[in-house]
Amino acid sequence: MFARLAANGQVRQAMSYNTSLATWLVLTGLSGFAILMLPRQFYVTIVENRSEAELRTATWLFPLYLVAINLFVLPIAFAGLSLVGTKTSSDLYAMVIVESVALSIMISNDLIIPLFVRRVLKTSASENEDWSTLILNVRRASIFIMLFIAFLYYRESTNSVRLSSIGLMSFAAIAQFAPALIGGLIWRRANGRGAALGMVAGIAVWGYTLLLPSLAGPGSDIVVHGLFGFEALRPQALFGTVGEPLNHGVIWSLSVNALFFVLGSLSRASVPLERIQAAIFVPREAGPMPSLRRFRTAVTVNDLKDTISRYLGVERTERSFQSFEKSASVSLHGKEQASMDVIRFSEQLLASAVGSSSARLILSLLFRRNDHDSKDAFKLLDDATEALQHNRDLLQIALDQMEQGITVFDRDFRLICWNRQY
């Protein structure tokens, strides 16, 4: 085997391949962005994460997994080159795409299902409908549409575009979220206008410098001579800059993205809602929370099962509740009032089908419909939340009207409030 690999020209070429420092830095940066921002990675890291303990485990297990899986990349690739050679593309055995499943879940959970929940579920006529079939059909349709779009791109793209290049191009596209994400965490003047302008500008430059050449081909008129014949507008050599096509497109798109992000944020002051949302990211110590283990509502276990079964189906719902009983060492009776542990489990189970926001809305509607005694409590909670929000807005407006710069720090000297002059 080793002698055959040593005699293989493709293997020797792969082992002698050198990557420039600029390319290595770009690939490393894109990979770092992809870990957080790709749909499948975001789904596993954020949506599927249920506790800080899982996050702490992932901090060492995920890097270990990356190291372990890469130990097998070269042997598998060399074996493929040795046994298959040039008879087929290495992309066919080097990569497996599961993106469509994660994207279909995100489309159904975050776009389609919330619309149905808000517009249809509130009516009494839909309370007994089975939604599991609808959710399944939405995900199937999403997968079909995405695969069809991918097929159209495959037909229109040139033969020189490899699957790995398409993956890196996708990494560069998803990296357009990075300036807004990072800037929103470290710059207090960042706002929604800047984020929107930056991402639109970055995607436009990405499409022109990376996507367009893959569709037009390296020898096309627009790639060789530029848009409208202007040499300075060549997609792979904007304004005379020369470099690897990927490096060129990534640097230009992210630079334009960051520029428009800053200019858009500076073009107007942050509105009170944006300042309040930014304050959410400032860690604050909270007092001890009261225990909710003995909390009970008028909602029964059967009510939760009936609601969840309309989205997951009766069989899966029953199987999931049986697994919960075994893991929690409890015995649930249909007519007993649901404890907080059961409600939390029900929310997580429902979120796996319709998403977190829709799951909370569905359960809140269930509580409002069944727990008549708590309607006043819900009303009081809503009024209190609205009053706190109103008072905070008034305070912020009053601070902004003062000529002096004013800041407020907590006992740990962390900035929690400021005015425009500061």
The position carrying tokens 């793209």 is: 157
* Whether residue 7 sits in one domain with residue 64: yes
Amino acid code (one letter) for 326: K
* Whether residue 344 sits in one domain with residue 225: no
Nearest alpha-carbon partner for 401 in 389, 410, 393, 409: 393
C-alpha to C-alpha distance for 133 and 310, rounded to whole angstroms: 9
Nearest alpha-carbon partner for 345 in 365, 317, 375: 317
List all residues 6 or more positions away from 260 whose beta carbon is below 8 Å from its beta carbon: 194, 197, 198, 200, 201, 202
Q: Is residue 244 part of a domain?
A: yes
Structure tokens, 2: 């080793």
Determine contact, residues 177/202, Cβ cutoff 8 Å. Answer: no
* Whether residue 215 sits in one domain with residue 318: no
C-alpha to C-alpha distance for 55 and 53, rounded to whole angstroms: 5
C-alpha to C-alpha distance for 183 and 120, rounded to whole angstroms: 38
Structure tokens, 300: 């029964």
Domain count, the chain: 4
* Whether residue 252 sits in one domain with residue 171: yes
Amino acid code (one letter) for 234: R
C-alpha to C-alpha distance for 8 and 20, rounded to whole angstroms: 25
* Whether residue 388 sits in one domain with residue 406: yes
Q: Is residue 64 part of a domain?
A: yes
Q: For 16-30, what is each residue's pLDDT tens digit?
A: 667 788 888 988 888
Q: Is residue 45 part of a domain?
A: yes
Q: Is residue 120 part of a domain?
A: no
Nearest alpha-carbon partner for 173 in 258, 254, 242: 254
C-alpha to C-alpha distance for 326 and 334, rounded to whole angstroms: 16
* Whether residue 280 sits in one domain with residue 163: yes
Structure tokens, 258: 């960051």
Q: For 165-201, what is each residue's pLDDT tens digit?
A: 777 888 899 999 999 988 888 887 888 899 999 999 9
Query: Cα-flanking dihedrals φ and ψ of residue 357, to 5°?
Result: -65, -45
- What DSSP element (H or E) covers 417? strand 415-418
* 400: containing domain: 375-422
C-alpha to C-alpha distance for 263 and 314, rounded to whole angstroms: 53
Q: Is residue 205 part of a domain?
A: yes
The last residue of a domain, from among 249, 284, 319: 284
* Whether residue 85 sits in one domain with residue 6: yes
* Whether residue 339 sits in one domain with residue 248: no
Tens place of pLDDT for every residue, the chain, 422 residues?
Answer: 666 666 666 666 666 667 788 888 988 888 888 888 877 677 677 766 767 788 888 888 888 988 888 787 777 777 766 666 555 555 544 444 556 777 777 777 777 777 776 666 555 545 555 667 777 888 888 888 888 887 887 777 765 556 667 778 888 999 999 999 888 888 878 888 999 999 999 999 999 998 888 888 777 788 887 788 788 888 888 888 888 888 899 999 999 999 999 999 999 887 766 666 666 554 444 444 444 444 456 778 888 888 888 777 788 888 888 888 888 777 887 777 777 778 888 888 887 777 666 777 777 777 766 655 445 444 544 444 455 555 566 566 666 666 677 777 766 666 666 776 66
Angle at alpha carbon of residue 101, lines to 99 and 104, rounded to 5°: 105
Query: 355: left (phi > 0), else alpha (psi -120 to 50), else beta?
Result: left
- What DSSP element (H or E) covers 213? helix 212-216
Q: Is residue 387 part of a domain?
A: yes
* Whether residue 1 sits in one domain with residue 39: yes
Q: Is residue 104 part of a domain?
A: no
pTM to 2 decimal places: 0.58
Q: Is residue 90 part of a domain?
A: yes
